[in-house]
Structure 1
Amino acid sequence: MIKFIDLFAGTGGIRLALEQACSDFGIETECVYSSEIDKNACLSYELNFGVNPYSDITKVNEFPDFNFLLAGFPCQAFSYAGKRKGFGDTRGTLFFDVERILKQKKPNYFLLENVRGLVTHDKGRTFKTIKDSLESIGYSVSYLLLNSSNFDVPQNRVRIYIVGVLNQPVKLTLNSDLGAADTHKFKKKSKYIQISLFGEEQEKAVTVRDILESDPDQKYNCSLDFVEKLRKVVGNDFTNLHGYRLIDYRGGKSLHSWELGVKGDCTPQEVEFMNLLISNRRKKIFGTHQDGKSLTKEQILTFYHENDFSKVTKSLINKGYLSCYDNKYNPVCGNMSFEVFKFLDPDGISITLTASDANRLGVVQNNIPRRITPRECARLQGYPDTYKLLDNDNAVYKQMGNGVSVPVVKAVLSNFIEHNYAQQLTKATSGQSKAYRSLFGIQLLPAADAMR
């Protein structure tokens, strides 16, 4: 039996993945301790696993015996979305508590999950600190960088998965794969792999379309006012919004507040001015001192060639789209004013879910622009529909943005169990699982006799 503890448990995604993986191998599991400090996440955990894990792990010192530690320890110190301060040693961080518990209890195995930025933070010194500390306790350590979109989860989400075995070499046959960085590359890659050498179509890759609810509640529809603003730009065919980001400080496949008239309608000349400013202000010819520079009139006139500079800029300043300080002009960006900041392409993958904006991802379904639902958000993380969601949309969006992609964790754990845990059981000859032997070519003890 695998007895495990579930630290920084969130809504239980890593636990769910371990239980699924062990079930496939016929291995019994028992969660002997779980810990989470977010109260809403604890409610979700209790709803699905029957126990409320609320506790502050930094203040817990006694633990029951276990042989597997799971921990998706918080990632703000290393995340690209955070300030990436990291640490020079483990003291003062929540990883310290993982290290402390491993030292105290010496379980046979562990799995840690974190953001990809952990590997490169501080030129690799942060990850080296973590790896060295784990090895000093007696663990052999291996890690994988994997993209959820490679595991039938239609989301571009790259995470690091760190595994360890006590006093034994660790073995994995999975390889790191960063996957497709965006929907365009994903669609190009999936189109290629769907054609075999003989020109026959293979199984279709899972996309956003596959996770959409067939009859979502109308409360997720965009407001009539916002829809009319979108209509002014894309017309009556809202599928033109597929893949568009609503963002003021980027060009490319983007819609901007001045195009939508969020702060007031703009003339075609004003829209052209703002779009040219957005697309040109990052050019190195205007300096390398910052990303997105404020520009003088003289600099702007090198790419805006109309004779109405004063009229256009005055109007844009009055409407709040443009600012001017020290005779330099800069867009005034207000991206939080958009009901949706990204319309997903149904035939592609989602951008990475985050806790702060998962509630503002959108999709066009049946020509209706709307936000994705909490259930769709959970599906974007690979949670099965049997997983119960709180009747609190904002809490669920946050939880899923903070969560793990369950199928990816399951794949890592299945590979890990096959080559590290199950290999210890190959001497037994009785009570073997025929399905397991045929799949992996090894023998397995009855779950009740395993790793007592």
Structure 2
Amino acid sequence: MRYPTISLFSGAMGLDLGLESAGLEIKVAQDFDKWCEKTAIANNKNFVFGDIKRLINEDPSCSFLLKKADVKADEVFAVVGGPPCQAFSTAGKRESLGDPRGSLFMEFAHVIKTIRPRFFVMENVKGLTSASIVKPPKGKKKSEYTEDEMPGSAFKVVKQTLENLGYKIVYGVLDAAHFGVPQFRERLIILGSRDNEDIYLPVPTHFQRHQDPTYRWRTLGEAIRDIEDEPGICGSFSKDRVEILKHVPMGGNWRSLPIELQVKAMGGAYKSGGGKTGFFRRLDYNQPSPTLLTSPVQKATLLCHPTKDRPLSVREYARIQQFPDNWSIEGSADDIYRQIGNAVPTGLGKAIGQVLLSVAEGSATVQTKRLRGTSVHRSLNEVGATREFKVVEA
């Protein structure tokens, strides 16, 4: 059976590859990034290039997607994508984006409203769940916040907009490490069902501790050991940073240094607040990787190889995100790091695709359904998972 799917804001197509490995068929992908277009073309993928706002303004019926995909609206199984919401990210200085109704999220909602797929998948940063529409003035008491200044007010708009389309939705923050990805990476996942089907979020398959090694977290070492001696394209650290990193053990960071080196390494940041765990961080073969960002060489989010005095290479980045070795990613080193760092790991995409197929085919078991909600949270604690897993059903 065919499951024609339309992908928006596709990037390097990590989510798409995961969905395809589950059995969905990505008929067309879309993005405004020229290097993402080149990546898609290099891998023989059907692609629509352009600003989604402009494309929809010129063709509100979304026929530009349907024609390119060679499908009719009533044949579309799912619309998937992650409308950019960088202002919600917790990775940097967080600012309010303003009303989501003025963002690219509304174009994503327009495509769903127009095409009416059986399902939709929206992924985004974890910070969206607690972001406000308007950033409160510094020093203002929470009891005096307006409705738009309240934490979560932006997500309230997102949730209400999707529900108003007539879709039943479930949402939650999922950590990719729980789905066989060698990386801690939390993403907000929202699934929608047009026909009020009993949709649910993926149930974790991998755990910190498990009696069967098959179901344990995948580690950085498992992902990169066989390619680390031939890294290929790779960023570099300054000579001064390399000299300091030589004193950091595997799994350590600046706090692992002698006091006199800590002060030298951190400079003015030494006495500042915050965890600062990303400074002079050397990774651990025996753990999943920290979340990959768009560059491994930035001072506060540095990703140093476990034993070599260099950043993770682009090949290692791709392995951690589970791109196939033969997947071509186009551009300069910076362009490639950015595309991979912005991607959804294919293992998480596959788990999401498997949920859609299990619902569509009526194969979701009673046992699987019982693991939803708080029972999932309890089951993770019982097997020793230390990273929180939450499911919310609307």
Scaled by the length of structure 1, the TM-score of the pair is: 0.63
Question: Superposed, which structure 2 residues align to 1:116-155 within 5 Å?
Answer: 116-122=126-132, 123-155=151-183
Q: CA deviation at 1:341?
A: 4.0
Distance 1:344 1:139, change over 3 A: same
Residue matched to 1:35: 30
SS at match of 1:153: coil
- Whether contact under 8 Å (2:244, 2:261) holds in the other structure is no
> 1:392 is matched by which residue type in structure 2?
S
Partner of 2:286: 347
The correspondence for 1:94, drawn from 104, 119, 122, is 104
Q: Is the 8 A contact 2:296 2:304 kept in 1?
A: no
Correspondence for 2:330 among 390, 397, 403: 390
> Which AA in structure 2 matches 1:86?
L
Aligned to 2:343: 403
Match of 1:243 in 2: 251
- How far off its partner does 1:91 sit? 2.7
Deviations 1:318-373 (A, max 9, x none): xxxxxxxxxxxxxxx9x9xx9x94211111122211114468521133xx322211
Question: 1:346 is matched by which residue type in structure 2?
Answer: Y
Match of 1:44 among 25, 39, 46: 39
3-state secondary structure, aligned to 1:372: coil
2:80 counterpart SS class = strand
Gapped runs of 5+ residues in structure 1?
24-28, 180-188, 235-239, 247-251, 263-270, 283-290, 293-332, 427-435, 441-452
Aligned to 2:382: none
Q: Aligned pair 1:114/2:162, yes or no?
A: no
Residue of 305, 315, 319 corresponding to 1:375: 315
Q: Which of 222, 244, 249 does residue 230 from structure 1 map onto?
A: 244
What does the per-residue CA deviation read over 1:278-315, in whole Å, with 9 as the maximum and x for residues that have no partner? 46x65xxxxxxxx79xxxxxxxxxxxxxxxxxxxxxxx
AA in 2 matched with 1:18: L
2:22 corresponds to: 21
**Aligned pair in 2 of structure 1 residues 6, 166: CA closer, same or farther (>3 Å)?**
same
Pairing 1:319-330 to 2, within 5 Å after superposition: none
Contact 2:124–2:189 (8 Å) recurs in 1: yes
Match status 1:361 vs 2:303: yes
Deviations 1:231-268 (A, max 9, x none): 8x73xxxxx5212335xxxxx34689955967xxxxxx
| Partner residue of 1:206 out of 184, 197, 218 | 218
Deviation at 1:8? 0.5
| d(CA) in 1 for partners of 2:8, 2:232 | 37
Distance (Å, rounded) in 1 between the aligned partners of 2:222 and 2:169: 36
The answer to whether 1:216 aligns with 2:218 is no
Residue type of the alignment partner of 2:251: G
Using the alignment, how far apart are the partners of 2:258 and 2:109 within structure 1? 46
Aligned mates of 1:229, 1:260 — CA distance in 2:
14
Deviations 1:54-110 (CA, angstroms, capped at 9, x unpaired): 21100112322333101111121311135331344x432000101112222222211
Per-residue CA deviations over 1:145-193 (Å, capped at 9, x if unaligned) read: 111111222211100111111132342263589x9xxxxxxxxx73xx2
RMSD: 3.7
Q: CA deviation at 1:227?
A: 7.7
Checking the alignment, whether the CA contact within 8 Å between 2:235 and 2:313 is kept in structure 1 is no
The gaps in structure 2 that reach 5 residues or longer are 67-72, 133-150, 369-394
Given the alignment of the two structures, is residue 9 of structure 1 paired with residue 14 of structure 2, yes or no? Answer: no
Q: For residues 358 and 343 of structure 2, what CA distance do their matches in structure 1 show? A: 25
* 1:144–1:162 Cα contact (<8 Å) kept: yes
* Pairing partner for 1:79 from 72, 75, 89: 89
Q: C-alpha deviations, 1:404-443, integer Å up to 9, x for none?
A: 1110121022012202x212xx8xxxxxxxxx99xx9xxx
Match of 2:185 in 1: 157
Quote the Cα distance in structure 1 between the aligned partners of 2:7 and 2:125. Answer: 18
The residue correspondences of 1:243-392 to structure 2 (distance < 5 A) are 243-246=251-254, 252-253=255-256, 278=270, 341-357=280-296, 360-365=302-307, 368-390=308-330, 392=332
Paired residue secondary structure (2:310): strand
Provide the secondary structure at the position in 2 that maps to 1:101. helix
Mark the structure with the bigger radius of gyration: 1
* 1:201 Cα offset (Å): 6.4
Distance 2:232 2:345 in 1: 27
Answer yes or no: is the 8 Å Cα contact 1:244–1:255 preserved in 2.
Answer: no
How many residues were matched structurally?
326
- What is the CA–CA distance in structure 2 between the aligned matches of 1:8 and 1:222, rounded to whole Å? 30
Within 1, Cα distance between the matches of 2:111 and 2:45?
24
- Classify the secondary structure of the residue corresponding to 1:77: helix
